[in-house]
């Protein structure tokens, strides 16, 4: 069963997606997400110019061997572009294997470890009242877990707060620069969660994303201040380039810590996991080497009672979402899955078998991943440059500690 071709499809049904389609001589094809938000075309080129020619004629059944070939054979290891490209190939090969064996991918990963996958939604608002109302609406729709982000008085734009419509992390057009103040931000978070816990009661899981904006000692102070409101997690409290910095946060607070959406390798989280400096590892199928590599991270994490919490923002395509759900359903130490519904156009471009109901999702039982790509429709949504906003301090210093 040989790989005889493939292509990279770039489309923008509301936001940009890069999708790999691999074809075999059996007439079966597989899909893999290769979207790297704000740097999309670099991965498209990596795949088209350097990976597809090397895959010609290779046995599509040899998923792990092809993974090792692309990782070790490149000589240049790791990095988000390389690992997103490898992830796309890996995901497409799991899709092919499932289709050929006529079984959903989660059955190939050991079968279901649970009935369904708990997800969290994104509530945000420009005032505490607004966030409380938004979070209440999620609970009303059956969500068991909600992430809450609020505007900060004095700052015009804050990470994670929807600008009118549903929140989308990237923005089309010229790159936006925002002004940040950790002091202002820190004044707002504890009062927000005090209100949320009081109004929503003890049942719902509450989450918060710091988005790498604090220094370790500030994050320690925030985690400590949030303890009375019993968060499910505090996400990305500080950048993890220096994994040791999490020890400082850990020494000061019992608020659970989640990190990993920007990681691309098990080496990015080895110390964090082995020294139990975190509670949830948030690596993603598309950015961390695919289903195969994510399983290795989860297996390492399982030894240290660290659970998974895959990133699932709108820049992860429905192909990645499906792959994440097969992984989540099967892996023993699953914690929670992030879920931001895609636009209606995106759902039409990527018809899928996965479903949401009562706060949980299921990947469905279609053979393979259970996602397709309508290429003709995708072609009507051409790529448009879009970037994540950046943050500077009031004096112009580039932020994100
Ligand atoms: O900023 O997906 O938890 N979710 C997030 C996202 C990320 C984007 C980056 O591409 O932090 O909104
Ligand atoms: Co995040």
Residue found by looking up tokens 């996958």 in the block? 117
For residue 211 and ligand 1, the question of a CB distance below 6 A is answered with yes
Ligand nearest to the CA of residue 40, numbered in listed order: 1
CA 174 – ligand 1 centroid, Å: 19
Q: Following DSSP, what letter does each residue of 280-335 receive, concatenated?
A: EE---TTTTTHHHHHHHHHHHHHHTT-EE-----TTS-HHHHHHHHHHHHH-TTB-
Does residue 167 carry a catalytic annotation? no
| Distance of CA 107 from the midpoint of ligand 2 (Å) | 29
Once rounded to an integer, what is the mean pLDDT over residues 175-191? 95
pLDDT at 162: 82
Q: What percentage of the chain has pLDDT greater than the value 90?
A: 95
Q: What is the pLDDT of residues 280-313, one digit of tens each?
A: 999 999 999 999 999 999 999 999 999 999 999 9
In order of 78, 122, 198, 199, 200, the CA distances from 193 in angstroms are 38, 14, 8, 10, 10
* Residue range 348-399, pLDDT digits in tens: 999 999 999 999 999 999 999 999 999 999 999 999 999 999 999 999 999 9
Per-residue confidence band for 167, with pLDDT thresholds at 50, 70 and 90:
confident
With bands split at pLDDT 50, 70 and 90, how would you rate the model's confidence at 198? very high
Q: How far is the CA of 373 from the centre of ligand 1 (A)?
A: 23
Q: Whose CA is nearest to atom 10 of ligand 1?
A: 37
User: Maximum Cα–Cα distance for the chain, whole Å?
Assistant: 61
Q: Is 209 in the pocket of ligand 1 (CB under 6 A)?
A: yes
Spatial separation of the C-alpha atoms in residues 337 and 313, rounded to whole Å: 10
Q: 236 C-alpha vs ligand 2 centroid, how far in Å? A: 7
Q: Active-site residue 205, yes or no? A: no
Closest CA to 236 of 207, 271, 206: 207
Let me know: does 252 contact 234? Beta carbons within 8 Å. Answer: no
Q: How many C-alpha atoms does 125 have within 13 Å on its Cβ side?
A: 17
Query: What ligand is nearest to the CA atom of residue 80?
Result: 1
Rounded to the nearest angstrom, the gap between the alpha carbon of residue 386 and the centroid of all alpha carbons in its chain is 18
Q: What is the pLDDT of residues 80-113, one digit of tens each?
A: 999 999 999 999 999 999 999 999 999 999 999 9
Say if strands 171-172 and 355-357 run parallel, antiparallel, or are unpaired: unpaired
- What pLDDT sits at residue 164? 63
Tokens at 286, concatenated: 């598309």
Tell me if 328 CB under 6 Å of ligand 1: no
Could you read off the pLDDT of 231-286 as tens digits, one per residue? 999 999 999 999 999 999 999 999 999 999 999 999 999 999 999 999 999 999 99
One of 122, 208, 211, 212 is an active-site residue; which one? Answer: 211
Give me the pLDDT at residue 165, please. 64
Q: Give residue-wise pLDDT tens across range 63-78.
A: 999 999 999 999 999 9
* Average pLDDT of the residues of the chain: 97
Task: Give the closest residue (by CA) to ligand 1 atom 5.
Answer: 313
* DSSP bridge pairs for 104: 368
The verdict on the CB of residue 169 being under 6 Å from ligand 1 is yes
Instruction: Output phi, psi for 252, to 5 deg.
Output: -110, -10
Look at residue 278 in the predicted model and tell me its pLDDT: 98
Give residue-wise pLDDT tens across range 119-146: 999 999 999 999 999 999 999 999 999 9
Q: What percent of the chain has pLDDT over 70?
A: 100
Out of 29, 159, 185, 280, the active site residue is 159
Ligand 1 centre distance from Cα of residue 169 (Å): 6
| pLDDT tier for residue 168 given thresholds of 50, 70 and 90 | confident
Compute the distance between CA of residue 183 and CA of residue 334 in angstroms, rounded to an integer: 34
- Separation between Cα atoms, residue 374 and residue 187, nearest integer Å: 47
Residue 210 in contact with ligand 1 by CB distance below 6 A: no
| Residues with a beta carbon under 5 angstroms from ion ligand 2 | 209, 261
Ligand 2 centroid–CA 54 distance in Å is 34
CA distance 34 to 86: 9
User: Are residues 362 and 116 in contact, defined by beta-carbon separation less than 8 angstroms?
Assistant: yes
Specify the residue for token string 């997400």.
33
Confidence at 166, pLDDT banded by 50, 70, 90: confident
Give the residue whose CA is nearest to atom 2 of ligand 1: 313
Q: Is the pLDDT of residue 19 over 80?
A: yes
Ligand 1: which residue has its CA nearest to atom 8? 169
């Amino acid at each position: 069963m040989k790989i005889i071709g493939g292509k990279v499809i770039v489309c923008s049904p509301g936001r940009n997606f890069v999708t790999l389609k691999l074809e075999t001589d059996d007439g079966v094809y597989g899909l893999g997400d290769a979207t790297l938000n704000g740097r999309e075309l670099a991965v498209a080129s990596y795949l088209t110019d350097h990976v597809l020619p090397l895959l010609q004629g290779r046995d599509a059944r040899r998923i792990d061997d092809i993974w090792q070939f692309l990782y070790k054979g490149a000589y240049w290891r790791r990095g988000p572009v390389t690992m997103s490209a490898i992830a796309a190939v890996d995901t497409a090969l799991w899709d092919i294997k499932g289709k050929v064996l006529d079984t959903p991918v989660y059955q190939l990963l050991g079968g279901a470890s649970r009935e369904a996958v708990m997800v969290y939604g994104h509530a945000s608002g420009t005032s505490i009242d607004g966030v409380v109302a938004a979070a209440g609406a999620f609970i009303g729709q059956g969500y068991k877990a909600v992430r809450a982000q609020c505007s900060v008085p004095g700052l015009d734009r804050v990470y994670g707060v929807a600008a009118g419509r549903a929140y989308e992390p990237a923005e089309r057009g010229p790159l936006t620069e925002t002004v940040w103040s950790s002091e202002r931000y820190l004044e707002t978070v504890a009062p927000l969660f005090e209100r949320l816990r009081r109004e929503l009661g003890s049942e719902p899981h509450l989450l918060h994303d710091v988005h790498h904006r604090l220094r370790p000692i500030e994050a320690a102070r925030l985690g400590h201040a949030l303890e009375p409101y019993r968060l499910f997690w505090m996400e990305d409290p500080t950048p993890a380039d220096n994994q040791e910095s999490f020890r400082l946060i850990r020494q000061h607070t019992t608020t659970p810590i989640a990190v990993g959406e920007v990681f691309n390798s098990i080496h990015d989280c080895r110390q964090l996991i082995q020294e139990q400096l975190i509670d949830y590892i948030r690596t993603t199928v598309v950015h961390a080497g695919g289903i195969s590599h994510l399983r290795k991270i989860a297996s390492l994490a399982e030894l240290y009672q660290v659970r998974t919490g895959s990133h699932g923002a709108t820049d992860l395509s429905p192909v990645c979402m499906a792959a994440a759900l097969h992984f989540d359903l099967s892996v023993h130490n699953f914690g929670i899955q992030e879920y931001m519904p895609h636009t209606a156009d995106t759902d039409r471009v990527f018809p899928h078998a996965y479903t949401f109901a009562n706060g949980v999702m299921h990947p469905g039982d279609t053979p393979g991943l259970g996602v397709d790509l309508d290429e003709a429709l995708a072609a009507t949504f051409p790529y448009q440059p879009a970037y994540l906003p950046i943050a500077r301090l009031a004096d112009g210093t580039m932020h994100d500690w």
